[in-house]
Amino acid sequence: MKIGVRIMPKNEVLDSQGRAVERTLKQNKKAFAEKLKGCRVGKYVLLEVDEADKSKAIARATEIAEFVLYNPLTETYEIEVLS
């Protein structure tokens, strides 16, 4: 089963990459400067888990995410089943 793990910096943590992307966007286009209200950069990890059962697969992916994929101090994660 394929499972995606989306990892994002916590809102309260300064996301220096997101800030840089936002600044670049706003500097380049007036419409972006007016309409862009925020930008944060995260990571996406694609896992292929050898589990047929959906809940077992989610449990396995959660275990993996908790083991190393995210840092609870600075990041949050979400899991989504892809196929």
- Residue closer to other proteins by CB (options 7, 58) is 7
24 part of the interface to other proteins, by CB under 8 A: yes
Q: Which of 4, 39, 74, 76 binds other proteins (CB under 8 A)?
A: 74
Judged by beta carbon, residue 11 or residue 55, the one nearer other proteins is: 11
Among 2, 17, 29, 63, binds other proteins (CB under 8 A): 17
Among 48, 54, 71, 80, binds other proteins (CB under 8 A): 71
Nearest 5°: the CA angle 6, 35, 20 is: 55
Rounded Cα gap, residues 28 and 2, in angstroms: 37
Q: Are 3 and 58 in contact (CB under 8 A)?
A: yes
31: Cβ–Cβ under 8 A, 6 or more apart, which residues?
none
Q: How far is the CB of 53 from other proteins (least distance, A)?
A: 26
Residues 15 and 76 sit within 8 Å (Cβ to Cβ): no
Smallest gap from residue 55 Cβ to other proteins (A): 25
Q: Token digits for 52? A: 């047929």
